[in-house]
Amino acid sequence: MELQFTITPAHTAARIAPQLAREMQQHDQHMGKVTRLQNRLAASLVPRLVSALAFTLPLAGGLAAIYFPQRVFSAEKIIAMVLFSLIFGLGWWLFSGRWLKRLQDNIKLKPIPSGTPLRGLNQRLVEAKLRIPLKAAEGAYRLLLDDQGFTLIHANGATGGLAWEQVTYLEQSPDFYCLACTELHRQGKAYNIPKHSDAMDPDEYQRGLALLLEKCPVALGPA
C-alpha cells in the first residue's frame, strides 16, 4: 500500500514549538541557578570587601602621610609608622564594629534579576538551530507499506524505512505518528508520519494509517 503526504511549514512550526519550550525551560533553569549563585556570592563578598577597604584605605593613607613628602625611610619614620599602625589597629578593633554594621546596612544590594537580557536572542538562536533539520524534512513523501516493513521516499530521492521488527517506539504528537528503532530513539530522531494528508483521499489515507498502526509491533503511546 502507498500513502502520500506533504510535510509543510505549518508542520515545522508545530514541531518546533514543544522542542523550543523544552530548550528554553532548561535555559531558564540553568540561568536561575547561576543568578542565585551570583546573588549569594555578592551577599557574602561585598560586606567583606567593604570592611577590607574601610580598614586598608585609612591605614594606607596614614602611612603615606608619614612617608611623604621626604620619601626617605628613617628610624623616626619607621617608629611613627609602627605606632600609627598599632594605634589605628587598636582603634579599629574597639570602635569599628558598630560603624561597619551601619555602613553595610546602608549598602543596598539590588538582587540580580533571574531573567537575562539575552534570553530573546538565545531563543532565536535555539529556534534557528531547531528549524534547520526540520526545514530540510519539508516536502512531498511516499510511504510504502508491505508485510516486511515500511519505506519512506522523499521527493528529493532520499529514502529510509524500517522493518516491522525494528520498530521499538511508536509515539504520537498532535500532528504526527512517530516511529523509531532503538538507535534512532537514542539519537532523538524518528520517522514522522502526518495524521492527515491533503495529497490523497482522506479516507484512503486514514485506512493506510490504520494498517501502519496495526502492523507496528509496539503499542501506540499517548499524545
List pLDDT tens digits, range 181-222: 999 999 988 999 999 999 999 999 999 999 999 999 998 876
Contact call for residues 124 and 108 (beta carbons, < 8 A)? no
Alpha-carbon dihedral sign for residues 84, 87, 92, 95:
negative
Residues of the chain with pLDDT under 50: none
Say how far apart CA 60 and CA 173 lie, in whole Å.
69
Q: What confidence score (pLDDT) does residue 190 get? A: 92
Residue 204's SS3 state is helix
Asked whether 50 and 107 are in contact (CB, 8 A), the reply is yes
Domain with CATH 2.30.29 in the chain: 138-223
The class that CATH gives domain 138-223 is mainly beta
Provide the pLDDT for residue 178: 94
State residue 114's pLDDT score.
58
Q: What is the pTM of this model?
A: 0.59
Chain segment 101-124, per-residue pLDDT in tens:
776 666 665 665 655 666 788 888
Strand, coil or helix: 221: coil
CA pair distance 213, 38, nearest whole angstrom = 52
Answer whether 4's CB lies under 8 Å from 200's CB. yes
Three-state SS at 163? strand
If you average pLDDT over every residue of the chain, what do you get? 86
* pLDDT of 115: 56
Quick one: pLDDT at residue 223? 59
Rg (the chain; Cα; Å): 35
First to last CA, the chain: 26
Which residues, listed in sequence order, are joined to residue 5 by a DSSP beta bridge?
141
pLDDT value of residue 17: 87
Task: Report which DSSP code applies to 38.
Answer: H
